[in-house]
Amino acid sequence: MNIVFLGAPGAGKGTQATKICDKYNIPHISTGDILRANIKAGTPLGVQAKGYIDQGLLVPDGLVIALVEDRLAQDDCKAGYVLDGFPRTIEQAEALSGFAHIDLAVNIVVDEALVVERIAGRRTCKCGESFHTSWYHSDVCNKCGAPLYQRDDDKAETVKARLEVYNKQTAPLIDFYRNQGVLKDVDGMQDMLKVFESIVKVIDDNN
């Protein structure tokens, strides 16, 4: 099944996508993770993307669409995948329709005050795991042992810009997928396990 995860910054897309992909043994394709890996490696894409990400703005559609089209052409995507953080604009969603069939769009719904709190306490590991200071009290990842860090774009002033960008450019995708009859809302304000179970139910009901 080809699945898109929608939701505001900090809604829990990455957290849930990791668990869902483990359960169904399908790849987790996060454009944010791919772009951050390119920044770290100093690739031409990373150099271009960094300026946008640091300001909380979207990387230009053309760059991201090409990246996702290449990724979805790989063999491991044949049995399905979860797209996390893509599409993020109507233009990206329309381009995606040209090279992929989306079976389900899961919209993780969390109110704005809570996403701000979640982002402020997020600590990230280079392996992709993320934690929150309210329930995780170590400086190192419990999966790989690497030191945790705060993402540059998780600073308060950048988060404000990211939320504005989300409301203006990404939230319209909710209606885009609702109109296609593939959108399911999931209450993302529940604890992580409950959110996971809700998403599993939505996926299994669609199979």
Q: Where does this chain bind ligand AP5 (CB under 6 A)?
A: 7, 9-15, 31-32, 35, 52-53, 56-59, 64, 85-86, 88, 92, 118-119, 121-122, 130-132, 153, 162, 191-192, 195
Assess whether 151 carries a catalytic annotation. yes
Which residue in the list 36, 88, 118, 184 is annotated as catalytic?
88
Which residue in the list 13, 36, 118, 123 is annotated as catalytic?
13
What tokens appear for 192 in the block?
A: 């992580």
| Cα separation values, 113 from 25, 62, 110, 167, Å | 33, 32, 9, 14
Rounded least distance, CB 97 to ligand AP5, Å: 15
Q: Which of 26, 58 has the CB closer to ligand AP5?
A: 58
**Helix boundaries (H) for the chain:** 13-24, 31-41, 44-54, 61-72, 90-99, 112-120, 156-165, 172-179, 192-206
Residue at shortest CB range from ligand AP5: 32
Assess whether 201 carries a catalytic annotation. no
Which residue in the list 36, 118, 122, 184 is annotated as catalytic?
122
Q: Which of 165, 100, 124 is nearest to 33 (CA)?
A: 124
Cis bond upstream, residue 27 (ω within 30)? no
Q: Which of 13, 184 has the CB closer to ligand AP5?
A: 13
Rounded least distance, CB 141 to ligand AP5, Å: 12
Assess whether 40 carries a catalytic annotation. no
Which residue in the list 19, 71, 126, 151 is annotated as catalytic?
151
Residue 132: strand, helix, or coil: strand
Assess whether 178 carries a catalytic annotation. no
Residue 27: strand, helix, or coil: coil
Assess whether 122 carries a catalytic annotation. yes
Instruction: List the catalytic residues.
Output: 13, 88, 122, 151, 162
